[in-house]
Amino acid sequence: MIHNILKILLVAALVLSLTPLANSAVIGDKHETEVWRAYELRMAGKVDEARDLLFKVIEKDSTNAMAHYELSRLYHYMFVGGGKVNIEDILASINKAVASEPDNVIYAYYRAITCFLHAFSAMQSSMDLVKPRIAETCTALERVLKLKPDYYEAKLYLVEIYGTLPAEMGGDSLKAKEYASQMNKVNRFFSLKARAALLPEGSDLVRYWGNLVAMNAKNPLYLIEMGKAYLFKDDPANAELYFKKVQRMDSSQNILTLDLARYHIMKVMQDQQLAKEELPKAKKFIESYLASSPEPIVPLKTYAMGLLSKVETFLGNQSRGDELLKEANSLDPYFSRASGIPTLLLFVPPDQISHHYFSFFSPF
């Protein structure tokens, strides 16, 4: 049990550094236009300017839900970028957004994600707070499903939380199986994801997804899962083959290249003696991502540059590492310093429902 809890903490720490499809809302007034401007500023690396603009909007209209939502995401971005904010700041802002528009599923979903981050912080410091905060997370996810019953990502989070955590932290295997069974009739891919999440530790995911890929050879969702399964099996060469197949179908999936880079970095985190062998491979993939098309958005570009800076420095190329770090900071002072790829949930336009899913308990 202790081993499982430590594993949860390690993986969540990697992922914490926290592809949209959506319904667009009409921009109705000047304040919403200003919120959009703040979002665009943040996406361009001008986070302080974006924050100041949101403060002004909220000062004029303290009930502006979109402004509070965008401020919450900005705080989240600053949090993983070393800014002087905390998870309570993130949660306070999204709570105000939900209070102003309780039936807005965009805000409800993001609040649920933030509730889990709040629970994760307790895992590091106050274990007695974990179970009630996990309960709050699950209640928030259930609220999302009341607003949008076909929000499969929210249901999959419930499967993962209840199925992964031990009972003393809020886990409930029966509830996990119940939510998984609910998806059997409505969405095949998410049903299969749910079943995979409930497989015993050490299960052969390559075999599991391989049988499914054989019947869905042109479906990128299945190919991505197959690539990730190979990473878990310590076979990055085959993972790369599947990721490349996906990228030929959809060039916007170039972000998968960063998972390959992170795989090799994680090998070094587990055993520093592997640095000379693994870090040059990580460097190759990061450079490939930075040179890929479409050009990475600023928050992901600077994250990759920061990652490459660490790799270069560790390899003994201090001047190159310093140069990359300086350039990244000039583009975006709050780029993510965490090892995990920043969640794409932070970069979806403020009027769009996010269908990006990142596991709370898996590094890929």
Angle, CA 141 vertex, CA 232 and CA 75 arms, to 5°:
80
Q: What is the CA radius of gyration of the chain?
A: 20
Residues 355 and 156: beta-carbon distance below 8 Å = no
Closest CA to 212 of 232, 194, 192, 197: 192
Q: How many CB atoms lie within 10 A of CB 85?
A: 19
> The dihedral of CA 339, 293, 290, 82: what is its sign?
negative
Q: Per-residue pLDDT for the chain (364 aa), expressed as one digit of tens each?
A: 444 444 444 444 444 443 332 333 333 466 789 999 999 999 999 999 999 999 999 999 999 999 999 999 999 999 999 999 999 999 999 999 999 999 999 999 999 999 999 999 999 889 999 999 999 999 999 999 999 999 999 999 999 999 999 999 999 999 999 999 999 878 999 999 999 999 998 899 999 999 999 998 999 999 999 999 999 999 999 999 999 999 999 999 999 999 999 999 999 999 999 999 999 999 999 999 999 999 999 999 999 999 999 999 999 999 999 999 999 999 999 999 998 999 999 999 999 999 999 999 999 9
Long-range contact set of residues 291-295: C-beta below 8 Å, sequence gap at least 24: 292/251, 292/254, 292/257, 293/251, 293/254, 294/251, 294/252, 294/254
203-255 per-position pLDDT tens digit: 999 999 999 999 989 999 999 999 999 999 999 999 999 999 999 999 999 99
Closest CA to 322 of 334, 332, 309, 333: 309
Q: Which amino acid is at 77?
A: Y
CA 13, CA 293: separation in Å to the nearest integer?
29
CA 156, CA 179: separation in Å to the nearest integer?
8
CA 288, CA 280: separation in Å to the nearest integer?
12
User: Between helices 152-164 and 173-182, what is the axis angle to 10°?
Assistant: 160
Category of 82 on φ-ψ map: left (φ > 0), alpha (ψ -120 to 50) or beta: left
